[in-house]
Structure 1
Amino acid sequence: MACFSWLTSAFLIVYAMSVLMATASVQLTTKTDNPYHPTGGEGSLTPQECPKACDYRCSATSHKKPCLFFCNMCCNKCLCVPSGTYGNKEECPCYNNWKTREGTPKCP
């Protein structure tokens, strides 16, 4: 009987640890590390806020230097950077519609 209660206690401890670990990983994955939270469209940033917003915008790319260069250029003109590391350009029409001579998007 003592063996059964020892096994039951061990199982409950392991189960409780796995539940705690799963809860902790869910909390870590749902927490956003994005320091830039857009407050709304073009003109919502000041030129001083552009580097921080572009650092986050370009954080997931393997081409950091060109991304940061063009993102900061676009941010200084439009005073807006889309949220996230990719997409969401509809939040900033100026940023989205600025094209190169070839017709490709200028802003990352």
Structure 2
Amino acid sequence: MWLEASNTIHYLGAALGAGLAAIGAGIGIGTLASSAMQGIARQPSAAGDIRANMILMAAFVEGVALIAEVVAILVVFLK
């Protein structure tokens, strides 16, 4: 009985970690895109630079989320 509960909590923790990483990345990229669009609206001549920086930062945010999800998967398989 205790062993089954331990495995369930283990899986629940991994799923919660992966889910929170995905939610955090979504919020972060949404905020990033919103700020970039506001910057482009204020200064259209800098649209190329703002867009390039936005894509770079979105890749960094997504990379951190991907690493967090890989860690959550490793927690499940390597318990």
Q: With CA pairs under 8 Å and 6+ residues apart, which has the higher RCO, 1 or 2? A: 2
TM-score range, shorter chain: 0.3 to 0.5
Bigger helix fraction: 2
Computing the radius of gyration over CA atoms, which structure comes out larger, 1 or 2?
Answer: 1
